[in-house]
């Protein structure tokens, strides 16, 4: 029996499973999926979990069941590429023939002193739950500082302001305008939404230090009751510690077939992989489809493609509370109710296909 070990049941890991099961797996291959959480988590919805506007159950999807799939609930602490084994906390190592690493990402604090200690996070389900508890226990008039106005910061600030209009929310961003990666029209629309919902945007900010309940913007102290960090991500520490080549965000450099340059049995999927696009669930799924094809062809003794066509990304959609949204579809900016409906539709379809 060959062992295919998949680390992480996120968007990448789940898509690999749906591509290989039930009918594309040879009878002599056994899959072991390892995750520290016993279900697939919908990370794209953590902003709503943290804001308290969806329940925990709504962001969980069961892992599939199959006689050739074993789900192992464990914490991965390292990978020994020489011995071909995965090291687990308080458990025996797992031996692999092929390994797919999809452990996602974590916050990047850009060496800002105190940021890792005194800010909340929405990068893992455990941390999003802690953020939910802190935010939802706040009394009226409390101040919430959100550092970083990319997609996740904007979604969190808007969701929270819509459900807790009694809070004073401050959104700190380095740029002249928020959502700097998007066209001006879109940034202006989102800034307008925040103005009408009394979320204060602090542009051109530079967070130089964080202390308990205090943010320092350009060294100027600002008292906050809760601070949430949404100002950058880096690859999971487990892959950063593998001793392989990585990019500036700790993402692993891979070949066009998505494996390590010097080991064709170790694939990297999703936020852990260095790719020419911003990390996203869509990208992780696109990669997963191609990795599954490489594995299938190898198992069947077929010739492998020298390279794959570029992964097609359908666009980006963001929410502004439950009724409005924004996004880019086919290079066109869309705003308002249609964008929000599309986002809800994408989520519904995802749950329908994976539920
Ligand atoms: C608020 C927010 C909104 C977003 N919105 C969008 C969006 O609209 N569209 C989009 O395409 N992308 C969006 N993203 C990005 C998207 O969520 C990620 O790019 C995607 O989750 C990456 O998938 P992945 O499979 O690499 O990792 P993940 O989905 O993060 O999965 C990683 C898995 O690994 C497990 N794991 C991690 N470390 C360990 C360990 N040491 N041991 C065991 N298990 C471990 C985790 O439990 C998890 O199940 C959003 C992200 C956030 C935070």
Mind listing the pLDDT tens digit for each residue in 265-324?
Answer: 999 999 999 999 999 999 999 999 999 999 999 999 999 988 899 999 999 999 999 999
Can you name the residues that pair with 320 across neighbouring β-strands? 324
* Ranges in the chain, pLDDT < 50: none
Q: Which of 34, 177, 196 is nearest to 104 (CA)?
A: 34
**Tokens 């439950």 found at:** 322
pLDDT at position 181 is: 85
Closest atom of ligand 1 to CA, residue 14: 25
Residues 6+ apart with CB under 8 A from 240: 234, 246, 250
Burial 246-270 (b: 16+ CB within 10 A, else e): beebbbbebeebbbbeeeeebbbbb
Q: Is the CB of 279 under 6 A from ligand 1?
A: yes
What pLDDT does 350 receive? 95
Both tokens of 159, joined, read 């969701």
The whole-model pTM stands at: 0.96
Q: How many CB atoms lie within 10 A of CB 277?
A: 11
- Pocket flag, ligand 1, residue 284 (CB < 6 Å): yes
* Atom 51 of ligand 1: nearest residue by CA position: 44
Query: What is the predicted pLDDT for the residue at 22?
Result: 86
Residue with the smallest CA separation from ligand 1 atom 3 is 44
């Amino acid at each position: 029996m060959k062992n295919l070990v998949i680390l992480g049941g996120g968007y990448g890991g789940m898509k690999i499973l749906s591509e290989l099961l039930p009918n594309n797996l040879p009878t002599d291959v056994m899959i072991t999926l390892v995750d520290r959480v016993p279900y697939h988590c919908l990370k794209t919805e953590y902003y709503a979990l943290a804001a308290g506007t969806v329940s925990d159950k709504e962001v969980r999807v069961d892992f599939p069941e199959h006689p050739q799939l074993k789900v192992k609930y464990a914490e991965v602490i390292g990978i020994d590429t020489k011995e071909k084994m995965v090291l687990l906390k308080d458990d025996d190592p797992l031996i692999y023939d092929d390994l797919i690493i999809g452990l996602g990402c974590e916050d990047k604090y850009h060496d800002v002193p105190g940021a890792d200690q005194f800010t909340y996070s929405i990068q893992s389900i455990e941390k999003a739950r802690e953020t939910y508890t802190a935010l939802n226990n706040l009394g009226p008039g409390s101040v919430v500082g959100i550092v970083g106005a990319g997609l996740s910061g904007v979604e969190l600030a808007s969701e929270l302001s819509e459900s807790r209009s009694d809070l004073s929310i401050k959104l700190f961003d380095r740029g002249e305008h928020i959502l700097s990666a998007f066209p001006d029209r879109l940034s202006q629309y989102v800034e307008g939404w925040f103005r009408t919902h009394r979320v204060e945007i602090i542009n051109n900010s530079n967070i130089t230090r964080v202390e308990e309940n205090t943010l320092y913007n350009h060294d100027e102290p600002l008292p906050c009751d809760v601070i949430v960090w949404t100002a950058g991500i880096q690859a999971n520490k487990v892959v950063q510690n593998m001793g392989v080549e990585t990019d500036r965000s700790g993402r692993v450099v891979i070949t066009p077939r998505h494996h390590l340059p010097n080991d064709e049995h170790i694939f990297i999927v999703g936020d852990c992989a260095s790719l020419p696009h911003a990390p996203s669930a869509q990208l992780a799924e696109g990669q997963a489809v191609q990795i599954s094809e490489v594995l299938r062809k190898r198992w069947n003794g077929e010739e492998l493609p020298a390279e794959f066509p570029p992964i097609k990304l359908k666009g980006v959609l963001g929410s502004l509370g439950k009724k409005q949204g924004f996004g880019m579809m086919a290079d066109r900016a869309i705003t308002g109710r249609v964008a929000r409906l599309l986002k809800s539709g994408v989520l519904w379809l995802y749950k329908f296909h994976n539920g």
